Structure 1
Amino acid sequence: MDSSSSVDVPDAPNCSAGGGDDSFFGLRIASIFIILVGSTSGALFPVLAKRSKHVHVPKGLFDFAKYFGSGVIIATAFIHLLAPALEALESECLSEGWSDYPYALALCLLSIFSIFIVELTAFRWGTAKLAKLGLSHDAHGHEVGSHVAHGPEGNMVADASSSTKEKDLESADSHHKSHQLLDDAFAQIVGVAILEFGVALHSVLIGLTLAVDEDFKVLFVVLVFHQTFEGLGIGSRLAYMQLPQKYNYVPIIAAILYGLTTPVGIAVGLGVRTTYNPGTATASIVSGVLDAFSAGILIYTGLVELLAHEFLFNKEMMEGSNSKLVYSIGSMLLGCALMALLGRWA
């Protein structure tokens, strides 16, 4: 007998068209509802708790959720998006041309600069519009006593002090404030929409994978925690949005939409389970490109909108106590560490 026959040969990648794994079908269906509850609860709880008059959540716990969520989002970008994008676009199922260049990193870079240019253009337009109304926009929150406005952060401040004896200017001042609030609301909604867009693409893709992956049990357990933590990150940003009364529904709608993304992905995956194989060349390209693009969105959002604005450009943080700073950084590192650890299995 040839001794070479006893040597283990690595399994060849499954590049052929056709369905993925179809075992545990009942549990895969149940996962739609389990993950729906977990992710929606994680996103909705901070929003509802912040608004509730009956549930008194300590401010320290809200701060923990906010900074913990920032760490979760940053870890998601690098560990759960960029790494899978690199793996997908280096798949053995792809033609050799895909291995000639780090396409995943290039797409991530393109995404970062695209978001930067879009946001820069939007804020130049917004600043010019506010200048005509006699207002200025401080995107980094340098003004003392100013309020949060840009994405998660940012500030709008009046250029000139009001005179108490000029009562005829009250209506004009009210008009200016209404414009200020509308621009404030628009900036916050755009910032959160960018964040949710990046997370939503990722959530749909992992839902598709969960529906047909052969390592379903491990992936399912990990994704329950993954989506709940990520929901907490999204929800903590939504809870701190300062919007006019008529736009108060936006954070709730955004939280519900986040909760639906992964279950929708699972449902679609189960619907096409007989034909969808995540290992095929087409599936690898689609998931790799979308993961790389989403990674860029979350890297930009996490490092610029969350980390820089929360710490470097936040007067409350820069002038606050050392204990508050340590608590906030520790909360962020904990969220980052836990989410990075989950990357060991998913």
Structure 2
Amino acid sequence: MPWLSVPRRCANARNACWVQPPTRVNGQIQGTKLRAEKASPYHSGTAEGYVHVLGDAYPILTDPCLGLSTEYPWAMTFATAATLFTFTLEWCLHKEFHKRLNETGPSSRDVEVAASAKETELTAEHNQTLKRLKNLVHSYTFETGIIFHSIFIGITLGVSQDRDTVTALMVALFFHQGNEGLALGVLFVKAGYSRMRYLILGALFVIITPLGVAIGIGISNSYNGKSKAALGTEGIFDSVSAGILIYNGLVDLILPTFEPSEMPRKWWLQVIGFGSLWSGAAIMALIGKWV
């Protein structure tokens, strides 16, 4: 699979194969600016997964029209399965990346016997490449969760003929897509995509909701939102999307960003980072009261 390929090391820094991730410049200030910018959109996966997506899936899958048990938490079950599947998939991909990097990178024996600056640089590059490949996997799984949910938001918007419903959905799209786009953008930069891959994944994120709207308009005359097929499909997709978004938000986005080694040393700068995270999540949770 081409997107799993491990890039060859370049001869020098000028011909670096990857886009270098942002680094701290001029002390802690630059690092703090980056931390706040990264923390702000990273709440979207967790808050949206719990409050918006899983919150929508639960009443759908307990609707009496679906014919299933109205007491069993079907939404939580599908979300749990999606979370564990995402973890298993990422584990398998990370294992494959380690294997390929060990085949292309410097051997452990070479690292032990060679203490030159060149070998040290290659080892650091090896670790940096592994980190970027992990971010590549994170960006793919995160966008998958977004796509599952966005397509049904678009369909709902397309079939809706009530002005209040359309207004609520447009507000939801504004906040959801905005925060998700910021989080995806940070992941794309950290993964060091090529320009073509930037365009493809960015275009997929942009067109998926309008595509859902077009589908909704096309089926608006025959669409029955209370049919078993419609309820089951939307409920399962929302639950799966919630499981993926929650896992990505906590494990792939928030945890790596707030590792002690990645945080600035000054306590008040750490407060800024956590304040950005909590305030963003609180805003998304508050929006769930209306949309």
Against the structure 1 CA distance between its residues 195 and 183, is the aligned structure 2 distance closer, same or farther, given a 3 Å change threshold? same
The residue that corresponds to 2:153 in the other structure is 206
Which stretch of the first structure deviates more once superposed, 108-117 or 219-228?
219-228
Verify the 8 A CA contact 2:224 2:230 in the aligned structure 1.
yes
Say yes or no: does 1:321 pair with 2:271.
Answer: no
The residue that corresponds to 2:94 in the other structure is 123
Q: Which amino acid aligns with 2:188?
A: L
Q: Deviations over 1:94-133 (max 9, x none)?
A: 11x3325221111111111111112122222332443444
Aligned ranges for residues 192-231 of structure 1 at < 5 Å? 192-213=139-160, 214=162, 215-231=165-181
Q: Which one of 248, 251, 255 corresponds to residue 304 of structure 1?
A: 251
Partners of 2:128 and 2:260 in 1: how far apart?
A: 20
Q: Deviations over 1:53-83 (max 9, x none)?
A: xxxxx76554333111111221111011111
Q: Which amino acid aligns with 1:339?
A: M
Verify the 8 A CA contact 1:89 1:285 in the aligned structure 2.
yes
Q: Which amino acid aligns with 1:272?
A: I
The residue that corresponds to 1:76 in the other structure is 48
Q: Which amino acid aligns with 2:167?
A: K
Q: How far did 1:309 drift?
A: 1.5
Q: Deviations over 1:244-293 (max 9, x none)?
A: xxx24433432332121111111111111111233322111101101111
Verify the 8 A CA contact 1:202 1:291 in the aligned structure 2.
yes
Against the structure 1 CA distance between its residues 59 and 256, is the aligned structure 2 distance closer, same or farther, given a 3 Å change threshold? farther
The residue that corresponds to 1:188 in the other structure is 135
Against the structure 1 CA distance between its residues 220 and 251, is the aligned structure 2 distance closer, same or farther, given a 3 Å change threshold? same
Partners of 2:252 and 2:173 in 1: how far apart?
A: 26
Verify the 8 A CA contact 1:212 1:277 in the aligned structure 2.
no
Flag the structure with larger Rg: 1
Against the structure 1 CA distance between its residues 320 and 248, is the aligned structure 2 distance closer, same or farther, given a 3 Å change threshold? farther
Verify the 8 A CA contact 2:136 2:188 in the aligned structure 1.
no
Aligned ranges for residues 1-346 of structure 1 at < 5 Å? 61-95=33-67, 97-132=68-103, 133-134=105-106, 159-160=111-112, 162-164=114-116, 185-213=132-160, 214=162, 215-243=165-193, 247-311=194-258, 313-317=259-263, 320-346=265-291
Give the 3-state SS of the residue equivalent to 1:124 in structure 2. helix
Against the structure 1 CA distance between its residues 219 and 118, is the aligned structure 2 distance closer, same or farther, given a 3 Å change threshold? closer
Partners of 1:269 and 1:224 in 2: how far apart?
A: 19
Verify the 8 A CA contact 2:97 2:133 in the aligned structure 1.
no
Partners of 1:341 and 1:299 in 2: how far apart?
A: 18
Q: Which has the higher helix share?
A: 2
Partners of 1:114 and 1:178 in 2: how far apart?
A: 30
Q: How far did 1:90 drift?
A: 0.8
Partners of 1:159 and 1:105 in 2: how far apart?
A: 47
Give the 3-state SS of the residue equivalent to 1:99 in structure 2. coil
Query: TM-score w.r.t. structure 1 length?
Result: 0.66
Give the 3-state SS of the residue equivalent to 1:316 in structure 2. coil
Partners of 1:161 and 1:203 in 2: how far apart?
A: 53
Partners of 1:127 and 1:238 in 2: how far apart?
A: 21
Against the structure 1 CA distance between its residues 127 and 222, is the aligned structure 2 distance closer, same or farther, given a 3 Å change threshold? closer
Against the structure 1 CA distance between its residues 296 and 279, is the aligned structure 2 distance closer, same or farther, given a 3 Å change threshold? same
Against the structure 1 CA distance between its residues 327 and 178, is the aligned structure 2 distance closer, same or farther, given a 3 Å change threshold? closer
Verify the 8 A CA contact 2:38 2:257 in the aligned structure 1.
no
Query: TM-score w.r.t. structure 2 length?
Result: 0.77
Cα RMSD of the aligned pairs, angstroms, is 3.1
Against the structure 1 CA distance between its residues 331 and 84, is the aligned structure 2 distance closer, same or farther, given a 3 Å change threshold? same
